[in-house]
Amino acid sequence: MSSDFNRDTESYDEETISLVDANGRSLICYIEHSLETDGTVYLLLMPMDIPIVIISWDDDDDDVEETEAVMLEDDAEITAIFANAKAVLAEQNIYLKHTAYTLTATGELPPIEEDQLLTLNLDEEDSELEPEELQFLASFYNSAQKYSIYTPLTPLLFFARYNANGEIELVSPEEERFQPILEELLFEELDDR
């Protein structure tokens, strides 16, 4: 069984757009759903390529049953280990890209095996978020620090809109005024499955 993210990426059509971050990197996304409200078009977007997560492990003490996993989000740290991560994935014919907002990859994912899944519990107080399951792809060391590469099993979605200049901008799903719009887009997404 392969991931839901394996799609035909050979052709770009009118249902894809490019998100660009502050560093000028782009991320090609499928437009999953759109909704016009009060003259503004809101979009639910999914990356065309496979989303990738890199986690660093703090496992200094072998006696501890639970090790602390930290998801890399700092661009400088990602840049420092990117070449090693790219090389270890290339051994599996998975090609890592340093894209906007998330790392992505192309290639075919290995079959999902139960013993290769990581359940990530968010350690936030009063969090209503479900634990996230990640599929293990590879591990490597950089300067004696252990890193592991995963892909989320649930689709990574971005919430965006066209601004007054006709450019795409990400919208915070936490902002109360956008929540009804996001909920409607997500209901459409669930109806399509």
Per-residue pLDDT reduced to its tens digit, 176-191: 778 888 888 887 766 6
Paired tokens of 62: 């072998």
- The count of structural domains within the chain is 2
Q: Which pLDDT belongs to residue 62?
A: 53
In a shared domain, residues 41 and 66: no
In a shared domain, residues 133 and 59: yes
In a shared domain, residues 68 and 139: yes
pTM (two decimals): 0.80
In a shared domain, residues 55 and 146: yes
The whole-angstrom separation of Cα 72 and Cα 55 is 6
In a shared domain, residues 110 and 36: no
Residues 37-72 as b or e (16 or more Cβ within 10 Å = b): eeeeebbbbbbbbbbbbbbbeeeeeeeeeeeebeeb
In a shared domain, residues 92 and 32: no
The whole-angstrom separation of Cα 155 and Cα 177 is 24
Per DSSP, the three-state class of 24 is coil
Q: Given CA atoms 96, 97, 98, 99 in this order, what sign does their dihedral have? A: negative
User: CA nearest 25: which of 61, 89, 78, 62?
Assistant: 78
The whole-angstrom separation of Cα 51 and Cα 156 is 7
In a shared domain, residues 145 and 99: yes
Find the distance separating the first CA and the last CA of the chain, reported in whole Å: 17
In a shared domain, residues 39 and 93: no
In a shared domain, residues 59 and 82: yes
Q: Let me know if residue 25 belongs to a domain.
A: yes
In a shared domain, residues 43 and 63: no
In a shared domain, residues 140 and 162: no
Q: Let me know if residue 99 belongs to a domain.
A: yes
Q: Which pLDDT belongs to residue 172?
A: 86
In a shared domain, residues 83 and 163: no
**pLDDT tens, position by position, for the chain (193 residues)?**
233 333 343 344 458 999 999 999 999 999 999 988 888 899 999 999 999 999 998 865 554 556 678 889 999 999 999 999 999 999 999 999 999 999 999 999 999 899 999 887 765 554 566 778 999 999 999 988 999 999 999 999 999 999 888 889 998 888 777 888 888 888 776 666 5
Helix (H) or strand (E) holding 150: strand 145-152
C-alpha 191 chain-centroid distance: 22
Per DSSP, the three-state class of 174 is coil
CB 94 within 8 A of CB 105: yes
How many Cβ atoms from other residues are within 10 Å of residue 103's Cβ? 24
Q: Which pLDDT belongs to residue 9?
A: 38
The whole-angstrom separation of Cα 144 and Cα 161 is 42
Q: Which pLDDT belongs to residue 51?
A: 97
CB 114 within 8 A of CB 120: no
Q: Let me know if residue 5 belongs to a domain.
A: no
Domain that holds residue 29: 16-48+155-191
